[in-house]
Amino acid sequence: MAPDPRDHPRDHWAAMERRYGTIVVAEWCAELITGRIEADDPDHPALTILGGGSYIQRIRSGVSPDYWVRVWAARALLYLWDESATPAVISGLSDEHWRVREMCAKVCRLRELGAAGDQLAALVTDETPRVRAAAIRALAVVGEAEHAEAVRSALGDPEPAVVEVTEAALGAMSARLDRDLSG
């Protein structure tokens, strides 16, 4: 079943869960993120269920970069979840492409993956502002007091949007951990 490009991802992934089962789809996405399987592995659902419309053919033909497969697999985990995907999401935080790191940080935030705290703290200095912001947002939810120093270091970030996220994150962490982490 090819995805309908008009479907919202939430609806698309709900249909994939019904068809294949949550664990099967989550583990497939995890294997795509880590590169343990190829996108067109015959023992797994067809690549077209990831979405991406015309990009699928562009990836297959080498015209578009293959990191999109890892991004889409991580994005799917925003809509469906099984704990078995946790190690793959954490490993995706060190992916060579920034879009994968950003999406995995978003998954860490939504799924509250506390085990990713140290890796997220390292991303506070990532070269890409969107990754830094996503990591800081995730730390607002899962970070512990020992991560506050890394978050505070972003108060001097050259990107105003990252500084804004940092201020909000420090407030959220202070409230969640019931202690002043502002410095």
Residues 6+ apart with CB under 8 A from 46: 40
Residue with tokens 């995730």: 138
Pair (14, 33) in one structural domain:
yes
Contacts with 177 (C-beta within 8 Å, 6 or more apart), sequence order: 144, 145
Highest mean predicted confidence (pLDDT) among 6-10, 65-69, 171-175: 171-175
The sign of the torsion formed by the CA atoms of 80, 118, 121, 131 equals: negative
Same domain, 134 and 154: yes
Amino acid 5: pLDDT: 59
With beta carbons less than 8 A apart as the criterion, state whether 128 and 155 touch.
no
pTM comes to 0.91
Question: What confidence category does residue 58 fall into, taking pLDDT thresholds of 50, 70 and 90?
Answer: low
Instruction: Count up the domains in the chain and report the number.
Output: 2
Q: Where are the alpha helices (DSSP H) in 77-159?
A: 86-92, 98-111, 117-122, 129-142, 148-153
Pair 73, 42 in one domain: yes
**Assigned domain for 153 exists:** yes
163 and 116 within one domain: yes
Domain assignment present for residue 182? The answer is no
Q: Are residues 86 and 10 in the same domain?
A: yes
Number of H helices, E strands in the chain: 10, 0
For residue 128, the tally of other CB atoms under 10 A from its CB is 15
pLDDT at 126 over 90: yes
Is 183 part of any domain?
Answer: no
How many other β-carbons are positioned within 10 Å of the β-carbon of residue 133? 25
Cα–Cα dist 159/106, whole Å: 19
pLDDT of residue 51 exceeding 70? no
Domain that holds residue 134: 100-177
pLDDT at 15: 87
Do residues 7 and 56 both lie within one domain? yes
Q: 83-94, pLDDT tens digit by residue?
A: 999 999 999 999
**What pLDDT does residue 21 have?**
94
Q: Is the per-residue pLDDT at 133 higher than 90?
A: yes
